Amino acid sequence: MNTRAPGPALGRRVSLHTLALCITLARMSAPQESSARPFPTVLIAGVGLIGGSVALRVKNLLLADRVIGLDQNAQVLNNAIALGVIDEAQLDPGPWLEQVDLVVLAAPVSALPELGRRIARFTRKDALFTDVGSVKGPVSEQLQDLPNFVPGHPMAGSERAGVEHASGLLLQNAVWVLTPTENTPLPALGRIRGFVESLGAAPVVMPPHAHDQLVATISHLPYLTSLALTHMVARDERLALLAAGGFRDLTRVASGDPRMSRDMIVENRAALRDALSRFRRELDHLEAQLGAPEELLEAARESKRTRDSLPIVRRSLLPPRHDLLVAVEDKAGELGRITQIVGFAGINIKDIEVLAIREQGGSVRLGFEMPEEVEKARELLEREGYTTRSRV
């Protein structure tokens, strides 16, 4: 008998009992045997910031024999290979997908369903699928008939986009939400949960619609708030003169990729509208308290208690290695040119390693003593046209 994961709970609110049941079932279905490489061949479909970070984490922890990158942008794939993010590159789905054991869908949210269906035409029936999209309802619904599909969303990111900014440590200690559908087999949920844990993240299981309601408040609403605040500054140059560090920190998410951010909030617009309504009520309440200083003081104290109680996500307990990976072309003099650019600026290279050289190019690892030296070297080399990525 094929045992399936429980479907999403009905209604707007999710009971704690439902969440607890999902988590318990996920733990029960986790595989008992340990394996150094539970998925020999992993496919990253969409090699951007998150997809690239998953690929790096898989490679750094030796969780797979091969990591294949699939992307419609050939330059992105070339950079990913040169920077050591993936082992192989593919531009289109095809029969080669029969080799793949795990598919991680990491394209923009709006493109995930079609991408998943195209890939599934070629994969084996026992291949597992998951995704990293920030909105789960539409993806879960449209791909629920995909064999062995476990929707997911790592709560991690950066205002910097692209594989050049990928980092395996981005996922360490991050909450990774899994939203199984009614068609998700429990063994598949258990294996993906184990995979997430092996990456160093913390899996949390909940229904898709519950996830979307929560991220509408803690992720998508802050993005719209950042847009509103930065628009106010853009329309009054006097405000820009006074905007300091606090304002920049508050509006940091406005620096994210505009198209990807737009797609993210549009896909979750129903839940976001509800969050906006609640936010307006909070603002109206605070406005009314402007005439009641004691009430406003208590509101400020409550906010401070809440803010101070939020957990701090520590990405690593060990000091980072201060490495910089540099993509290089396969031609004479490149290594000497790189060391000259860095050395003439007075930056001491403590270690150097040629990682790979292929016909289309390769990468060089430069080791530095201080993180400030990494950033300075990155700035100098990118100014000269090199593609780089810092590695911890």
Confidence (pLDDT) at 392: 52
Q: Which CATH architecture has domain 323-391?
A: 2-Layer Sandwich (3.30)
Instruction: Give the dihedral of Cα atoms 389, 218, 113, 192; nearest 10 deg.
Output: 70
> Binning pLDDT at 50, 70 and 90, where does residue 102 land?
very high
> Binning pLDDT at 50, 70 and 90, where does residue 368 land?
confident
Class level of CATH domain 16-208: alpha beta
Confidence (pLDDT) at 361: 61
Rounded mean pLDDT, 46-57: 92
The more confidently predicted of residues 157 and 117 is 117
d(CA 78, CA 74): 6
> Binning pLDDT at 50, 70 and 90, where does residue 253 land?
confident
Confidence (pLDDT) at 241: 76
Q: What is the pLDDT of residues 304-319, one digit of tens each?
A: 888 877 766 555 434 4
> Binning pLDDT at 50, 70 and 90, where does residue 122 land?
very high
pLDDT > 70? residue 320: no
pLDDT > 80? residue 330: no
How many CA atoms lie within 13 Å of 218's alpha carbon, on the beta-carbon side? 11
d(CA 127, CA 38): 12
d(CA 43, CA 38): 13
% of the chain residues with pLDDT over 70: 85
Spans of all domains in the chain: 16-208, 211-309, 323-391
Rounded mean pLDDT, 347-351: 81
Cα diameter, the chain: 73
Instruction: Give the dihedral of Cα atoms 144, 156, 192, 147; nearest 10 deg.
Output: 20
Other CB atoms within a 10 A radius of the CB of residue 372 amount to 11
- Per mean pLDDT, which range of 201-210, 242-251, 377-386 is the poorest? 242-251
pLDDT > 90? residue 192: yes
Confidence (pLDDT) at 125: 93
211-309 fold:
6-phosphogluconate dehydrogenase C-terminal fold (1.10.3660)
DSSP helix/strand/coil, 52 = helix
Both structure tokens of 170:
């981005």
Confidence (pLDDT) at 182: 87
